[in-house]
Structure 1
Amino acid sequence: MKNKLILGLLFVLPIATYLIFASAKHNSLFLPILFEYQQDLPQDWQTSSGESVQLENKITILGFTGFDIAKNKGNLFNLNQKIYNKYAGFTDFQVVMVAPKGTESDIVAIFEKFKTVSEDLGGWKVVFADPEEIKTYFETLQLIGNLGEDYGTPSVVIIDKNINLRGRKGKNKAGEDEYKDSYNTISAAELHNDMTDDVKILLREYRLALKKNEARKDDFRDKIKENIEKNK
């Protein structure tokens, strides 16, 4: 019985993964890089448990909560339901929120409620920083939108493993010019449609790169084997 279950999983998981990647409706196989080499999060920006969080080598959804956590609670819930729960199974995926110091208890209260709708919140990270430091860091992202007076914004961005800002740039399916550097968490529809597609594309991009690297390794290994056999 156990062996049958394992075989079933080995059969189903690749199909499920394919369906996730293949269902993207975006008109591109790759998500454009808008700005390269963004700054990583400062080491002294830490979670409530004292953990530093880094963006490098992770696919990250990055956002800024601001002081009014209660006001933005619905936005965080949208992000959790429409994006995080779909991709929480990918080990290289994380959602990182930057919050002002002093809002720790409000954040903890929200995530206690999230536990009722999400089995694993390990990919959610919230780091705390001084407000002016948050503003300075936000400006390095070079986004069209601004940070609010409470040092927060309902918009989130996609950061790739090399800390590049990803988004939409160029022609859309209708042939119209399009530029999108962030995604509005107020709009569940925008998260469900635009952002879901763009995250799928980025995950697929890394998956294809991994398969290409594995193919190169196999080719390299075969050539070494051939040379060894020739020299016998």
Structure 2
Amino acid sequence: MKKFWVLFALFIVPLIFYLLLTTGINNFSKLPVVTPKINDISAFSTSDKKHLTLNGKISVLCFLGDSLLERKTNALNLNEKIYKHFYQYKDFQMIALLPFGAEPKTEQLKKELGYTTNLENWHFLFGRAVDLHTFYNSLQTQTNLDSLNYSPLSFIVDKNQNLRGRTDDKASKNGLLYGYNASIVSPIHQKMVDDIKVLLAEYRKSKKDLKSAN
């Protein structure tokens, strides 16, 4: 009997612990809404004048500004840690919002990103500076775009145009995390990846519950 409990402790308990980790508490929780119903991106368009929407999509937003080649670290971090992991998920999109005039620099950046990446869901949209600031302000993050239309923060937006984040973040004032600093790897790797997984799990569970109800 003693041998059984020793074997149980050695093999079964670690297995249960592993299963709990892989399924994760996150699968049973929701990523908090930190700003409900932000503006859509109808004021912006691609270089070939196509318009996109946040509605019905899981979106990651970033603001690379006029000097985007000097800030390309943000795009490279997001590309490696976020986009490459999630771009094949249905309804996922990466959106960079940029001022008019940044198109040539954007083409350079896209070439660099495209060496190792399928960019089909990496979208670069352009608009007036005033519209960039208006849209950014709709996020209600208590931060602003700078004079070059840049922010180091990247954001998660759900299918209903709600800004998602954290309400218990120890490193943030009052625990509120609105965006993730893309200029360094750690917030992206340690927080944003996990939070997107939580949101995807939330939608999977919702879809499963809907099927069960029918």
TM-score scaled to structure 2, two decimals?
0.84
Displacement, 1:170?
3.3
Equivalences for residues 116-155 of structure 1 within 5 A: 116-118=115-117, 120-155=118-153
Q: For 1:147, what is the secondary structure of its paired residue? A: coil
Structure 1 moving runs of 4+ over 4 Å: 23-28
Verify the 8 A CA contact 1:24 1:201 in the aligned structure 2.
no
Q: For 1:60, what is the secondary structure of its paired residue? A: strand
Verify the 8 A CA contact 1:97 1:125 in the aligned structure 2.
yes
| Partner in structure 1 of residue 201 of structure 2 | 204
Equivalences for residues 1-232 of structure 1 within 5 A: 22=22, 29-42=29-42, 44-118=43-117, 120-170=118-168, 178-217=175-214
> Which segments of 5 or more consecutive residues in structure 2 lack a partner in the other structure?
1-18
Opposite residue 76 of structure 1, the aligned amino acid is: A
- String of CA shifts for 1:93-148, please: whole Å, max 9, x gaps: 10111100001011111111111121x21111111001111111111110122211
| Partner in structure 2 of residue 221 of structure 1 | none
> Which segments of 5 or more consecutive residues in structure 1 lack a partner in the other structure?
1-18, 218-232
- String of CA shifts for 1:27-64, please: whole Å, max 9, x gaps: 9721001121111112x411012210100000000111
Q: For 1:143, what is the secondary structure of its paired residue? A: coil
Percent of aligned pairs with the same amino acid: 30
TM-score scaled to structure 1, two decimals?
0.78
Q: For 1:125, what is the secondary structure of its paired residue? A: strand
Verify the 8 A CA contact 1:169 1:179 in the aligned structure 2.
yes
Q: 1:177 to 1:133 in 2, by over 3 A?
A: closer
Displacement, 1:182?
0.3
Q: For 1:38, what is the secondary structure of its paired residue? A: coil
Displacement, 1:23?
6.3
Verify the 8 A CA contact 1:25 1:197 in the aligned structure 2.
no
Opposite residue 150 of structure 1, the aligned amino acid is: L
Q: For 1:126, what is the secondary structure of its paired residue? A: strand
Verify the 8 A CA contact 1:38 1:141 in the aligned structure 2.
yes
CA distance in 2, matches of 1:24, 1:65: 33
CA distance in 1, matches of 2:25, 2:103: 38
CA distance in 1, matches of 2:213, 2:23: 27
How many residues were matched structurally? 194
